[in-house]
Amino acid sequence: MTKIGILIRKYFPDIRFWIVLFFIIRLYGIWFPPIDAAHSWRQVTGNMVARNFLETDANIFYPRVDMAGEKTGITGTEFPVLNYLIFLMAKVFGWQEWYGRLIVLLFSSLGIYFFYRIIKLKFPEKTAFYSSLILLVSNWFIYSRKIMPDTFSVSLVMIGLWYALNYFENQNAKHLILSSLLILFGVLSKIPAILILCPMLLVFWSRSYKLESKIWFSAMMLPVMAIVYGWYYLWVPHLVETYGYWHYYMGTSWQQGFAELQEYLPQVLDKFYFDALKFSGFIAFLAGVFILLFKSKKQNKKLLLHLLLWSSVLFFVFMLKSGRNFAVHSYYIVPFVPIMALVAGYAISSLKHKKWAILALSIIAIEGVANQQHDFRIPENKQHMLQYSEVVEKFVQKDELILVNGGANPTDLYFAHRKGWSMENDEIMQLNVQDSLYSLGCRWILINKQYKNYPNFASEMIVFSDPNFEIIRLKTNF
């Protein structure tokens, strides 16, 4: 056998090789600022919080954003674990826009490794291997390099779950403590990450584990859930009420959520059959469901059916609370993708010939990566945003407030490195709005000309202009 053949036989079946390979692939452009083709707004708001920890106040209990106008910017957000890690890196190495990308990629890669180890506890190694490969090329491929807490939070809980399962096997108190901390910070980072703990329901129903272990684990989870409840349902409302700015979406009523899911049903279904695993991956998932229900006679069939059932029930509850937001945001399905990947991997592991499994995985990987390659380049119509800070610095003092025409997306405001407002073009041209903002301290307007129907101002008000953006000195009409 040739040396290449030896290397292939040695490393290709090792999931660590593939995790490292995909880690390296996604390092390309890791230094890009958060002006991706999609979700730049979600990333810059996270970076705002981190940058304000660095420049204003490092108190983790008082996260701040920049688009709160004349207010302090303090508001309720997810518990800023990721944001604080970005701040700590900036404290040591100086501020860079991309730190969050690297942090998320590191933790998400580690999370997939522990996903593999968890599956290996109860399923054949090839099922764990195939499932992990599918997860690597799912929508985790791009969200694992975005400055967003979605795969980050799920990964923390995934690692915590592995230590929890090991605690039930060996009663090692260190594993219990580590598990509790990881689950705490994971769920604090984003509540839907709790879905990953579904296997613990089966552990508690099983008679194979000691009652004492169940009691100790429950005792550790009580303060974890109390802290999560305290942050989201006591502290977040307190920050909003006290500082007068609402930012974090806390969900809708069950009835309203159900109505919105019905209204946006095509977009809801799209999250499953395309966004999660793409078409080929979803076909493998459906094949796995079919095999579990009608074909499989394997001993772990019942276990996987229960995992899928409970994960689906809990995820549907999350969907109801999310309503329209679930339909319009492709990252909302991230916590459900691991169970989908497991079911798809289970289907492929049921193929009788290895060559068919390799072919199926290749198709899923090629489609998955090809449909996400846009994440590796900066859109040309956004690159001018990187000039904002340097130009704005010439005209606008650090403590002066500005207005941008970004609408609900505060990306322009973030790259201007100023605080203020982000409004729609038609709002900005209303004289009463301009007068109101002037009275609140707004003196400047930054207009992004890449947005359609951007407002035009009198030439004497324009202090800077180029083909992409201009800066306006706001005047009052009082």
Q: Is residue 391 a contact partner of residue 464, using CB atoms and an 8 Å limit?
A: yes
Query: Whole-angstrom Cα distance, residue 333 to residue 318?
Result: 10
Q: Look at residue 1 in the predicted model and tell me its pLDDT.
A: 56
Q: What share of the chain is helix, strand, coil (3-state, %, to 5)?
A: 70, 5, 25
Count of other CB atoms within 10 angstroms of residue 74: 23
Q: What's the CA gap between 251 and 264, in Å, rounded?
A: 16
Q: What is the dihedral of CA 310, 314, 319, 321, to 10 degrees?
A: 160
Helix (H) or strand (E) segment spanning residue 362:
helix 354-370
Which sequence spans correspond to the domains of the chain? 3-38+98-206+245-375, 380-473
* Beta-sheet strand order (sheet of 401-404): 420-422, 401-404, 442-448, 469-473, 462-465
Beta strand spans in 246-366 (E)? none
pLDDT value at position 352?
Answer: 87
CB atoms near residue 377 (< 10 Å): 12
Say what angle helices 337-349 and 125-137 make with each other, to 10 degrees.
Answer: 130
**CB-side neighbour CA atoms (13 Å) of 158:** 26
Task: Report how far residue 160's alpha carbon sits from residue 136's, in angstroms, rounded to the nearest whole number.
Answer: 19
Side chain identity at 230, as an amino acid letter?
G
Which residues neighbour 6 within 8 Å (Cβ) at sequence distance 6 or greater? none
Query: Residue 330's closest CA among 270, 258, 261?
Result: 270
Q: What is the C-alpha separation between 56 and 113, in angstroms, rounded? A: 37
* Cβ 175 vs Cβ 373: under 8 Å: no
* Residue 130 to residue 469: CA distance in whole angstroms: 48
Amino acid letter at 334? Answer: V
Note the pLDDT of residue 478: 45
pTM (predicted TM-score)? 0.95
What distance in Å separates the CA atoms of residue 389 and residue 367, rounded to the nearest whole number? Answer: 38
What pLDDT tens digit does each residue of the chain (478 aa) get?
566 666 566 678 899 999 999 999 999 999 999 998 888 999 999 999 999 999 999 999 999 999 999 999 999 999 999 999 999 999 999 999 999 999 999 999 999 999 999 999 999 999 999 999 999 999 999 999 999 999 999 999 999 999 999 999 999 999 999 999 999 999 999 999 999 999 999 999 988 899 999 999 999 999 999 999 999 999 999 999 999 999 988 888 999 999 999 999 999 999 999 999 999 999 999 999 999 998 866 668 889 999 999 999 999 999 999 999 999 999 999 999 999 999 999 999 999 899 999 999 999 999 999 999 888 888 989 999 999 999 999 999 999 999 999 999 999 999 999 999 999 999 998 889 999 999 999 999 999 999 999 999 989 999 999 999 999 999 865 4
Q: Find where tokens 């903002």 sit.
A: 437
Instruction: Give the helix ranges, DSSP H, for 138-270.
Output: 140-143, 149-170, 173-189, 198-205, 211-230, 236-243, 254-263, 265-270
The radius of gyration computed from the CA coordinates of the chain, to the nearest angstrom, equals: 24
The pLDDT score that the predictor gives to residue 56 is: 96
Residue 115: which of 132, 136, 138 has the closest Cα?
132
What is the SS3 assignment for 366?
helix
Residue 473 is given by DSSP the state E
When the pLDDT of each residue in the chain is averaged and rounded to a whole number, the result is 94
Q: What is the pLDDT of residue 248?
A: 87
